Structure 1
């Protein structure tokens, strides 16, 4: 998309103005969508002050500006996608008496010439300073920036909710939020929609479909969903996984009755620090990877070698409004089971809120996917490239099970392991899955292996 400069009048291009380009937000992301401008034309900003909130294919990020001065141009409207390296905001030097005390007009790092790398968080250059507004002449034209919904002051945390309301013309200020403290949720916006069928025919560009499937339009028109943003990233990664990795899936049913009883006993003893089933499964996976490190690896195709990781960077598949994300717990093997439970709760909540930085969504070495939350028993999960394995867990349901020669009703789950056949053969993969199943059925085995 070409650069879009918003005219600001006769001072749109003052001598000595600094143009801040959209920086490289990391992890090879080439573009970002403007979610919300935090400044307006005429505002005075300080070094490292956040000027705009953008959404990448992986996270919502506040972008700080490396220059101090007066805002003269905002390049791009809310909802517009900007490529990395294109103008984002133009800052003009202040008049002699207006410069904020204690702040240079730009960071020392910028003297090196790279205005294209996101740096400077926490540098102490006024990250908490409040901006001062410069009085504007009555005739000065306003910047051409898309207005926020009329209810912008409403309690809205998620940028996805704001965008959904904007796209469907829902006034957030007129809604009563059902979330904690009156926070407006996606469901509140969807309930307020009154969209005729012809508007449902085409999903707006860069939209993120909800996890559920919307009913087909009654007008006989096809639904067109652009493959952009995170959906494109997901599609590309899954396609690459299937294209490059010779994957095999094996599975086994396991009696999880004792696992649930163990969790209940733990939580009864310390109700203030509950442990989830997912945390126990994560602990079991870590035990299995200690015994079978071949699965905590990836194939370096260029170097023609297998690289086994020294630490377990555990990915947790999480379904969000923005699509399937896999936040990563670095060096998960160093955490206790309670610490795992707390980290999992915090990480998945942040992933669903869209507040995780891109670095938290990459670098995994093994993934745990609990698709049982969708009410399904089994799956043949696709490996999260470039990892070598992924464990999937189905729902835990009552099933007939033979216990000591007698038929009984037990809590049963299906465990599925998809692995890269280049890193190991069936003996290793089967040994890992059997170890996981044994620990699910006899949690006491974890004590002997931790």
Structure 2
């Protein structure tokens, strides 16, 4: 007989204790293989796919998309063992599709035992199609998600399903208020519930009558166009009309005794995931670090010419941030006090013998700081390639926890936003951050004469506990000298 195993949200590492469900990758009733990703979650560090260490048939899922789960909470259950656990209730069409997908049986009970988030649990499996059971007289569509916080069990696992009836040769859903209606995701079910849509009155446009988000939105638009409640128009033909305006701000604002509106009215965005982690870290930095900032203008004309000459010589193109990173590592070798961290409990300054260089990157999910490991050992080409890789991963939301932790110094190129200067907050627990403004033509005295030169403003925000102003000023002056005369770097290469 099949054995039902429970897969829990694994330990995510790096002190992470919870994760938000972004997207389910499997439905109840799907056949999954060992190490196949089953859910996409967002932690305070990154968005990652969680692989399941068991192979078999998904019998239940726990948590809707958008819900936060603590580490150790159940994610899903999988029936593993004999093929009969999923094949008997799937029907001829599903069994045929499964046979075409793989000539082998349902994956065996043993699992990989690995649940390392962000890295997979073994070699990446071949891409698989999801196999949905065909609608039959004994199965309710598995596409429905959790209802009222409870996981919906598959008929293949319970062996019980409400009776269905056939009309004109078609198998209809069981006539019971508890029967789940096939929808593509729990978010669609929530959208319908919040707007008074009866899903049983809709005709799904997806495969096997699956109700899509577009089906619910069409019903809402039709209701708005006719000036009727959404539930009365759900069963009518879909009509493409103007979108329904958001209703979040339509609720009457609470008032005080005198009829005056209470404060803090408006849209609210939860501080969770990456945004919440950034808020916590910045707040802690402001509380614990006595920071100070110094800045200087530098003539970057020669640096820009040097980069142009490098790229004209052939080979991979060298990025400007890679050259700035190379200057940073050279400066930290001369002023190692800034490549450190303060251990507040031990009341000690910890100085690092390596440079893990972080750089600020703005993404759709908020500010993240990917880390270039051992930046002090890399040349300009290697730095360029690593910056490009991490930037692309940040935009795609695929950075791993290892990509976002362990930094010892941060390079912040806020010039990409078109600003000249800034006094940024130090990336706790680091001790300093170099800021680079935009490079723009300005009047500048060059070799005793007024000329138009490419000028950049450099700033250094530092933890005043690790050094005094003389060290900070010496570091920043050396960086500016290297920007103005790149040949200075030859002394440290």
TM-score range, shorter chain: 0.7 to 0.9
Counting only pairs closer than 5 Å after superposition, residues 284-323 of structure 1 correspond to structure 2 as 284-323=327-366
Counting only pairs closer than 5 Å after superposition, residues 210-289 of structure 1 correspond to structure 2 as 222-270=266-314, 272-289=315-332
Structure 1 contact 201–222 (Cα < 8 Å) conserved: no
Cα distance in 1, alignment partners of residues 417 and 25 from structure 2: 38
Is 1:446 the equivalent of 2:489? yes
Pick aligned residue for 1:147 from 164, 184, 195: 184
Query: In structure 2, the residue corresponding to 1:147 is in which secondary structure?
Result: coil
Partner of 1:67: 54
Structure 1 contact 73–91 (Cα < 8 Å) conserved: yes
Q: How many residues align?
A: 377
Partner of 2:122: 123
Specify whether residues 370 and 257 from structure 1 end up closer, same or farther in structure 2 by C-alpha distance, changes over 3 A only: same
Cα distance in 2, alignment partners of residues 245 and 284 from structure 1: 25
Provide the alpha-carbon RMSD of the alignment: 3.1
Is 1:342 the equivalent of 2:346? no
Structure 1 contact 41–74 (Cα < 8 Å) conserved: yes
Give the greater-gyration-radius structure (CA). 2
Specify whether residues 194 and 375 from structure 1 end up closer, same or farther in structure 2 by C-alpha distance, changes over 3 A only: farther
Structure 2 contact 339–408 (Cα < 8 Å) conserved: yes
Q: How high is the TM-score relative to the length of structure 1?
A: 0.76
Query: In structure 1, the residue corresponding to 2:64 is in which secondary structure?
Result: coil
Cα distance in 2, alignment partners of residues 132 and 336 from structure 1: 45
Partner of 2:157: none
Pick aligned residue for 1:329 from 351, 362, 372: 372
Counting only pairs closer than 5 Å after superposition, residues 86-97 of structure 1 correspond to structure 2 as 86-95=73-82
Query: What are the ranges of 5 or more consecutive residues in structure 2 without an aligned counterpart?
Result: 87-103, 146-182, 189-212, 219-241, 252-263
Structure 1 contact 246–422 (Cα < 8 Å) conserved: yes
Specify whether residues 301 and 77 from structure 1 end up closer, same or farther in structure 2 by C-alpha distance, changes over 3 A only: same
Shift of 1:437: 0.3
Specify whether residues 404 and 201 from structure 1 end up closer, same or farther in structure 2 by C-alpha distance, changes over 3 A only: farther
Specify whether residues 449 and 197 from structure 1 end up closer, same or farther in structure 2 by C-alpha distance, changes over 3 A only: same
Cα distance in 2, alignment partners of residues 196 and 105 from structure 1: 49
Specify whether residues 289 and 19 from structure 1 end up closer, same or farther in structure 2 by C-alpha distance, changes over 3 A only: same
Q: How high is the TM-score relative to the length of structure 2?
A: 0.70
